Amino acid sequence: MQCHYACRTGEHGIHRRTLLSAAGGLLGAASLGGFVMQNPAVADQLRSGCKRILNIFLHGGVSQFESWDPKPGTDTGGPFRAIPTSVPGVHICELLPHTAKQMHHLTLLRSLNTHNNDHGRGVVEMTTGHKQLPGSAYPHVGALAAKMLAPEDFALPGNVLIRSAGPASNPAAYLGARYASVVMNNGQPPAFTSRPESLSLASDQRRNQLRSQAHDRFARRRRTADTDAYTYSFDQAQDLLSRRQVFEVDQEPQADQDRYAVSEFGRHCLLARRLLEHDVPFVQINHSNYDTHYENFDFHIEQLGEFDQPFSMLIEDLAERGLLESTLVCVMSEFGRTPRINSRYGRDHWGKSWSIALGGCGIQAGGVVGKTNDNGTEVVADEVDHGHLFHTLLQAVGIDSFQELDIAGRIFPIADPAKVPIKELLA
């Protein structure tokens, strides 16, 4: 469902800077060759040991009351019931009946207090694990996953963003453009990855040969780090052309296409499954719009109606195919929604006591961590924030979240050294 954001903040638009960043990420992150795809034995060996992250970001701020932490019958609870799930004693909102059947694969974190009510800041802090400060920039979890989880000779991009709304890229910050996201707008293959019909394969090869000769001649006399970086990016982009089919959801069996085709988000979930099956270390799906300052209940009926069935099918498919045990799944937002229902039947921004869902690789399944009070206005047990969550995501896939990276002589901690993992979540 598409609607206008009531709070009218600039973060809901696509900015020129993020658009340019996405274009740079396409060239920098597209490292493709035929080695893995053409050698099934090697692909199977990599699959047996590789780990992946699937992050589903519900942009705008999904309501915890209408999803993971319902409070029916209270002054804040709203009109919806809580329903039982596949985990005895665990209930979620009735707007998620299909997801309720997969709860034995998931765990709920109900004790987030991120001290933030701003969209842009919330997106940054939830995906980087660091407090946003002026002049600071930290890599998105996808960039870190691409760097830490992909083998050196991995034949696909390590960080893929599937979006129809939300930020236009997942920034890599000090890691460099190589690890920024390859963006799939509306689930389409990355732009400019198909040869124009007017250009024959032979002509394209001759053109590239001429370019290569010119580069070699230039490099013998004036080779610099900048020219090497340009050539590296160009070669990566060229390789991407030969592996474009990996990004085409139409390559999936027709039965699966029909099953997931309940919405655009459904096709995005099928595409994510395809990428994860090809061992892409990080995939993020953006789903919007949850910024429900008015008509919160009607919007959540529609938005979570789009989310519920495809998400549950994706979790079930990953489990049946043996991928869930090596794929960490996280469903997050930038914050939650206020307990108070405003005069427009909406809920406003709320970072004080809200919830997310996790499952798969490295996560205890079928549980609940943390607790809010009876009407959801306060965290009363196991309070954590984005910094603790970021440590947890990295540790779950085997990355030492306390390590530091040496980037051109500067030392960067990859997660906030003042925070620790949420041990109750980790398997």
| Distance separating alpha carbons of residues 391 and 393, to the nearest angstrom | 6
Number of domains comprising the chain = 1
The highest-confidence range among 9-13, 129-133, 218-222, 356-360, by mean pLDDT, is 356-360
- pLDDT-wise least confident of 129-138, 196-205, 231-240, 290-299: 231-240
Parallel, antiparallel or unpaired: strands 282-288 and 52-59? parallel
* 101-148 pLDDT per residue, tens: 999 999 999 999 999 999 999 999 999 999 988 888 999 999 999 999
Any domain includes 277: yes
**What pLDDT, on a 0 to 100 scale, did the predictor assign at position 323?**
97
| Distance separating alpha carbons of residues 259 and 309, to the nearest angstrom | 10
Any domain includes 109: yes
Rg of the chain over CA atoms, in angstroms? 22
pLDDT beyond 60 at 155:
yes
Q: For residue 283, give the amino acid letter.
A: V
pLDDT beyond 90 at 216:
no
What's the chain look like in SS3? CCCCCCCCCHHHCCCHHHHHHHHHHHHHHCCCCCCCCCCHHHHHHHHHHCCEEEEEEEECCCCCCCCCCCCCCCCCCCCCCEEECCCCCCEEECCCHHHHCCHHHEEEEEEECCCCCCHHHHHHHHHHCCCCCCCCCCCCHHHHHHHHHCCCCCCCCCEEEEECCCCCCCCCHHHCHHHCCEEEECCCCCCCCCCCCCCCHHHHHHHHHHHHHHHHHHHHHHCCHHHHHHHHHHHHHHHHHCCHHHHCHHHCCHHHHHHHCCCHHHHHHHHHHHHHHCCCCEEEEEEECCCCCCCHHHHHHHHHHHHHHHHHHHHHHHHHCCCHHHEEEEEECCCEECCCCCCCCCCCEECCCEEEEEEECCECCCEEECEECCCCCCEEECCECHHHHHHHHHHHCCCCCCCEEEECCEEEECCCCCCCCCCCCEC
**What pLDDT, on a 0 to 100 scale, did the predictor assign at position 18?**
40
| Distance separating alpha carbons of residues 181 and 142, to the nearest angstrom | 7
Q: Domain limits at 346?
A: 10-196+244-413
Instruction: Please give the model's pTM, rounded to 2 decimal places.
Output: 0.84
| Distance separating alpha carbons of residues 159 and 157, to the nearest angstrom | 6
Bridge partners of 57, per DSSP, are: 286, 332
Any domain includes 3: no
Any domain includes 239: no
Domain containing residue 46: CATH number: 3.40.720
Can you tell me the mean pLDDT for 162-176?
86
Any domain includes 229: no
Query: For residue 103, how many C-alpha atoms fall within 13 Å in the half-sphere facing its CB?
Result: 23
Q: Which of 141, 75, 28 is nearest to 415 (CA)?
A: 141
Phi, psi (degrees; rounded to nearest 5) at 96: -125, 55
**What pLDDT, on a 0 to 100 scale, did the predictor assign at position 29?**
37
Can you tell me the mean pLDDT for 212-232?
71
Q: Which two tokens stand for residue 167?
A: 């930020």
| Distance separating alpha carbons of residues 135 and 140, to the nearest angstrom | 16
Reading phi first (left if > 0) and then psi (alpha if -120 to 50, else beta), residue 138 is in beta
Any domain includes 307: yes
Can you tell me the mean pLDDT for 375-403?
98
Any domain includes 427: no
Average pLDDT, the chain: 86
| Distance separating alpha carbons of residues 395 and 363, to the nearest angstrom | 10
Any domain includes 261: yes
pLDDT beyond 80 at 153:
no
In the chain the first and final C-alpha atoms are separated, in Å, by 36
* 13-57 pLDDT per residue, tens: 444 334 334 434 433 333 333 333 334 433 444 444 689 999 999
* pLDDT-above-90 percentage for the chain: 67
Assign 239 a pLDDT band (cuts: 50, 70, 90): low
